[in-house]
Structure 1
Amino acid sequence: MALQRVAALAEVPEGGNKAFDACGKSVLLCRTAAGVFAVENMCSHALAHLEGGKVKGPHIFCPLHGVRFDMRTGEPNGTLTRKPITVFPVSVEGDDVLVELPDA
């Protein structure tokens, strides 16, 4: 895994999310009062993009069917899927959002 700069913190809306292309992956950055999180921009239930889904605390809700995922672990909550989403370690250094991504 390699640490990559994915975006400037100012590019990620407070209380929201935005997808960025990094190392050939669509990485969704989410910014909440609980922190900044990075997940693969793909719901494990219907293979829809998670971008635009509601974020609350450490959770994101799929905009298609409302499946809730814990962005700390990737674990789903509910009955639509038991398959977790991929989460990536993230850190903020100054105004840079750095994400640990698999080596290309």
Structure 2
Amino acid sequence: MSGVFHKICAEDDIAENGDRAVTLEGTDILICRTREGVFAVENKCTHQLQKLEGGKIRGCFIFCPLHGQRFNLKDGSPIGKLTDVPLKTFPVKCEEGAVWVSPEPRGGQD
């Protein structure tokens, strides 16, 4: 990872259990805020490639708005039977009230 982060918005600009879609270096990324923190995942369900933006967020999980496939926002892992392919996740840091996201996926994900 190169360590490059892009400033996205103020942390308070994303409501708790809310999200914000951004494009960083050609990748559509969804930033989600929960009680447990701020997370970034690729804005594309691995089941039928539906955008996750606007899906329900409960705890640290997001539900795809198309078929309800659930994903863990912490590591991208799917919960359910529709797919076994995890979401790409991206490093996030919150500093001085701002959300910063790296466009490079965590853990060598493709």
Q: TM-score, normalised by structure 1?
A: 0.90
Deviation at 1:9, TM superposition (A): 1.5
Name the Cα RMSD after superposition.
1.5
The equivalent residue for 2:48 is: 46
Among 42, 64, 67, which residue is 2:66 paired with?
A: 64
Q: Matched residues in 2 for 1:71 and 1:87: separation? A: 8
1:100 aligns to 2:102 (yes or no): yes
**How many residue pairs align between the two structures?**
103
Give unpaired runs (5+ residues) of structure 2. 106-110
The equivalent residue for 1:18 is: 20
Q: Name the stretch that deviates more: 51-60 or 10-19.
A: 10-19
Q: Name the stretch that deviates more: 5-14 or 51-60.
A: 5-14
Give unpaired runs (5+ residues) of structure 1. none
- Secondary structure of 1:102's partner? coil
Q: TM-score, normalised by structure 2?
A: 0.86
The equivalent residue for 2:108 is: none
Percent of aligned positions that are identical: 46
- Secondary structure of 1:10's partner? helix
